[in-house]
Amino acid sequence: MKIIVANPNSNTELTKVLMKSAEKGFNDSSTELIPYTNPKGSKHIDCTFGDYQSVWSFVRGLLDFTEEVKPDAIVLAGFGNFGFFALKEALDIPVISIAEGSQVIATMLGHKYSILTVFKQNIPYQEDLTHLLRLEGKLASVRGIEMDTENVSQNSSVKESLKNTIIKMIEEDGAEAIVLGGARFAMYADSLSEEIGVPVIDPVSVSVKLAKLFVECHLSQSKIGKFNYPPQKISDYFVD
């Protein structure tokens, strides 16, 4: 089995961080996890503008890479939109967005869940995305922390900010599970969950395992309605 783990950012250092999360607890030698980095996207996607400016190259490049690699599934390892509905239309293999996969899992772990994102400015974007996924009825809150997006390594001050914000989500917002809404946060999931005592979800790790489950159960997005193939050939949508 081959699963592409696709980074919509153009930051290769972030791709390495994503792959560490993807490989966490993944001991299946029969499955190959293949990284992909958007060659022309924003280095750090932290708002709607960054999403829109990155998605055109991400979708096109990922389709070409998929044709080359022939994977069994794709995990879109950015916590945002990034054209995942479009990719579900274009492809018949499972396409798992970490934003969708992790939030669906969160709905099963408590009455309501909260999302912790990068920057307070990014909160409306995440709220809109949850509405798009029709999960807002289970959403307790979205909160953001300010951080240096250049830093993709473990940082004690970042972890402390995450911990303090999660405690507020639980005590003030009524959250019973937490989704870390960004690949940069994934490395803190296990220790935060242990220290605070609630499920804290690493969206990359759970989405990779979900993709593997889909393949093993012979499941993929339905092609008769919303995710039917585009009416034109894929190549006809691109102007060189």
Considering the domain architecture, whether residues 83 and 160 belong to the same structural domain is answered as no
The whole-number pLDDT of residue 126 equals 95
Count of domains forming the chain: 2
For 9-15, what is the mean pLDDT? 92
Considering the domain architecture, whether residues 94 and 210 belong to the same structural domain is answered as yes
Of the CA atoms within 13 Å of residue 101, those in its CB half-sphere come to: 27
- Rounded-to-integer distance, Cα 5 and Cα 127, Å: 24
Considering the domain architecture, whether residues 7 and 72 belong to the same structural domain is answered as yes
Kindly tell me if the per-residue pLDDT of 239 is higher than 90.
no
Kindly tell me if the per-residue pLDDT of 148 is higher than 80.
no
- Which has the minimum average pLDDT: 27-41, 57-71, 81-95? 27-41
Considering the domain architecture, whether residues 186 and 232 belong to the same structural domain is answered as no
Considering the domain architecture, whether residues 10 and 93 belong to the same structural domain is answered as yes
Give the range of the structural domain holding residue 213, as residue numbers without chain letter.
2-98+205-237
- Rounded-to-integer distance, Cα 35 and Cα 115, Å: 25
The whole-number pLDDT of residue 47 equals 85
Q: pLDDT digits over 46-73, tens only?
A: 888 989 999 999 999 999 999 999 999 9
Tell me the DSSP string of 163-193. Answer: HHHHHHHHHHH--SEEEEESGGGGGGHHHHH
Considering the domain architecture, whether residues 150 and 196 belong to the same structural domain is answered as yes
Under DSSP, the state recorded for 7 is E
Considering the domain architecture, whether residues 37 and 65 belong to the same structural domain is answered as yes
Which residues does residue 117 pair with via DSSP β-bridges, in sequence order? Answer: 144, 181
Considering the domain architecture, whether residues 194 and 215 belong to the same structural domain is answered as no
Considering the domain architecture, whether residues 109 and 195 belong to the same structural domain is answered as yes
For 72-90, what is the mean pLDDT? 96
Q: How far is CA 148 from the centre of its chain?
A: 20
Give the pairing of strands 113-118 and 95-97: unpaired
- Rounded-to-integer distance, Cα 223 and Cα 216, Å: 19
Q: What's the mean pLDDT when you consider all of the chain?
A: 92
Q: pLDDT digits over 89-113, tens only?
A: 999 999 999 999 999 999 999 999 9
Kindly tell me if the per-residue pLDDT of 26 is higher than 90.
no
Considering the domain architecture, whether residues 112 and 61 belong to the same structural domain is answered as no
Considering the domain architecture, whether residues 125 and 140 belong to the same structural domain is answered as yes
Considering the domain architecture, whether residues 81 and 105 belong to the same structural domain is answered as no
Confidence of residue 43 (pLDDT cuts 50, 70, 90): confident
For 212-223, what is the mean pLDDT? 97
The whole-number pLDDT of residue 29 equals 83
First CA to last CA distance, the chain? 33
For 125-154, what is the mean pLDDT? 86
Cβ atoms of residues 88 and 220 within 8 Å: no
Of the CA atoms within 13 Å of residue 111, those in its CB half-sphere come to: 5
* pTM for this predicted structure: 0.92
Instruction: Report residue 235 as tokens.
Output: 């190549």
The whole-number pLDDT of residue 158 equals 86
The whole-number pLDDT of residue 34 equals 97
Q: What is the CATH number of the domain that holds 122?
A: 3.40.50.12500
